[in-house]
Amino acid sequence: MNKRFFKQTVTIYNEKEDGTYQRTIINKVYIRKTRKTILNTNGEQLAGSCTIVIPTALAEIKGQLAINSYIDTKSINKNSAILNFTLNSRLIDNPWTLRDGDYVVDGECNLDFDMTKIRKEHRLFRINSVADNRKGSLQHFKLEVTE
């Protein structure tokens, strides 16, 4: 895996059981951004989407490999995934996970989760899909996100 492509940072907001969000800043990721013009009843609007690649061998949280504090929340429904994350996060330093419906900010964001405040300063995306590609020699997570 060529390290020169993985120089960007993202901030992930994971929903917890009590409805609050946990913020995790991950360095050494790759982001491919696209912008599209969408026609709707209000006229034209710009909509952004991104593909984010988080390599397990490179991505870092506070200088440590990010994969070491990843919590796998694969389950039947979102509510049990949120509960699993909330319970396991008490046992791990810097816990994080990837779930459809959670939020990602392009870059480092030190704000508590408030969509209005974050959108004033950053681009906020919602996770549409997560591909867990942790098999083979190029292990990574691939996220598809939209604004």
Q: Where are the alpha helices (DSSP H) in 34-140?
A: 78-88, 115-121
Q: What's the token pair of residue 18?
A: 């009590």
How confident is the prediction along the chain (147 residues), in pLDDT tens digits per residue?
Answer: 677 889 999 999 999 888 899 999 999 999 998 876 666 666 666 677 889 999 999 999 999 999 988 988 775 566 777 777 777 777 777 789 999 999 999 999 999 999 999 999 999 999 999 999 988 888 999 999 998
Closest Cα partner for 29 from 142, 109, 144, 123?
A: 142
89 Cβ neighbours under 8 A, 6+ residues apart: 16, 22, 71, 95
The Cα 138–Cα 53 span in angstroms is: 11
pLDDT tens digit string along 76-104? Answer: 566 777 777 777 777 777 789 999 999 99
| Residue numbers of the domain that contains 128 | 3-146
User: What is the count of structural domains for the chain?
Assistant: 1
Percent of the chain with pLDDT over 70: 88
